[in-house]
Each structure stands twice: as structure tokens, then as C-alpha cells.
Chains A and B, each alone.
Chain A
Amino acid sequence: MRILYFAWVRERAGAAEETVSPPAGLTTVGQLADWLATRSPGHAAAFADRRRLRVAINQEQARFDDPVGPGDEVAFFPPMTGG
């Protein structure tokens, strides 16, 4: 599974991108976030306040209770500030 991080989430996680193999039985974005948070103290900081995070699955905005699978590209980032 390909994971992408942007803005301060990327800075805290210490990586822009990583390929991971989550354990079997992990089915939602929320469960994925909980598991990613255990990878390092930086990851824990990145995922500490889920209300400040947004997520996209395969480049479409998604929610933490949406399902994810092994072939998905999942991105975590702060609320967008374009324009």
C-alpha cells in the first residue's frame, strides 16, 4: 500500500511517501492511521489529532471510516489552503 504525506504531516512523519504492508484484518482508513502512528514517534505526532487531518484514497477525498485495500494510494494531509 502506498502512503503519501503532505505539508506538516509530511514533516512530522519524516517522509513524503512510504510503501507499507499493513497487517491482515485492517479494513478502514482509521485503522490504517492507528497502525501507521505506531511506526515512529514522528508518525505518532503526525496522527495525534485526527480532527486536524484529511485523507484521500486514490486521489479522491475520503473519510476515516472508508474502506482501504492493499492496492490503494492513501494520502494524509492538513485541511487544504490553496488560492
Chain B
Amino acid sequence: MAVRIQAADFDAGAEIAALTAGRDDIGAVVSFTGLVRGGEVSAMTLEHYPGMTERALEQIEAEANRRWPLKASLVVHRVGRLEPGANIVLVLTASEGRHAAFEAASFLMDYLKTDAPFWKSEERADGSTSWVDAREADDSAKTRWES
């Protein structure tokens, strides 16, 4: 279990290799990478609440480990200004079989979107910026884990 907040880019392949190195008890690794979409958006800046962010992500990760028999997990979230195509977030989950890894990765992303203190500001080609509103779809994605 680990969480990292960083401005620097990450290498998903290298992170998977590090997570599984020297282990023979892992049968499945699921990797999710979120990227900045282009189109109208020319850049995105991620702000966060240092201290609370790490704490919130650790709580979400601990909850995933309570719900599923994970062998290992990692959350890396970038902050600062990011351009289209750039990596934003990496979630890795490792378990004996695929089901726990798939479900835990999905759970981690759903909670991370609504419960970790990050805020996105979008820049457009004309130089205007605006804060991204929270999406109701993200809230309802989370509620499916609450039953």
C-alpha cells in the first residue's frame, strides 16, 4: 500500500515492475491511468490540500484493502499544470486473481474522484480559465459501492 502526490510524470510500466518485483504471490495486476483530454482544453492545473490529500488517499486505499484481498496497491496523483496527453493519475492493484484487482482499482478511482482534495482548473486556447465542477455522475459512481 502506498500513495504519492507529485508534480513529476510517472512511468506506469516501471511502477508495475516495481510492485511485482521479487513476488510470486501475485496472480493479477490491474493498472488504470487517467490522462488529460485535449479538445477545447489547452491545459489543466491541479491544486490540492497538502497533508489532507495523502491522508484521504491512504484512507481510501485502506478501505480497498479491507474489502478485497489485495497483495499490493499504489496510487500516484500528479499536481500542477498538465497539458493534453499528460498522465494525471495511476492506480495499481495486485491480487491472487483478477476479480479483486479489477474491482479494487475501480473502487479506488471512484472514491478518489469525490473524496480526495484535488481541484482542476481548465485553460482554453483563448486564455480563459475556469474551475471544473464536480460531476453528479462521479457521485453516483461512488454510491454503487455503498450498499
Residue numbers of A with Cβ under 8 A of B are 4, 6-8, 56, 59-61, 75, 77-83
Binary contact track B98-132/A, C-beta < 8 Å → 1, others 0: 00000000000100111111111100000000011
Nearest first, the 6 A-B pairs at minimum CB distance are A82-B118, A79-B134, A59-B52, A7-B119, A83-B113, A81-B132
Taken together as a complex, chains A and B put the C-alpha atoms of A77 and B118 apart, in Å, by 10
Known interface pairs A6-B47, A7-B47, A7-B131; A80-B52 also in contact (CB < 8 Å): no
What are 30 contact pairs spanning A and B, CB under 8 A?
A4-B49, A6-B49, A6-B119, A7-B47, A7-B121, A56-B49, A59-B49, A61-B115, A75-B117, A77-B49, A77-B119, A78-B119, A78-B134, A79-B134, A80-B115, A80-B116, A80-B117, A80-B118, A81-B113, A81-B120, A81-B132, A81-B135, A82-B46, A82-B117, A82-B119, A82-B120, A83-B109, A83-B113, A83-B116, A83-B118
Interface residues contributed by chain B, number (CB under 8 Å): 29
Taking the complex as formed, is B133 at the interface, i.e. its CB lies under 8 A from any CB of chain A? Answer: yes
Distance in Å: Cβ of B120 to nearest Cβ of chain A: 5
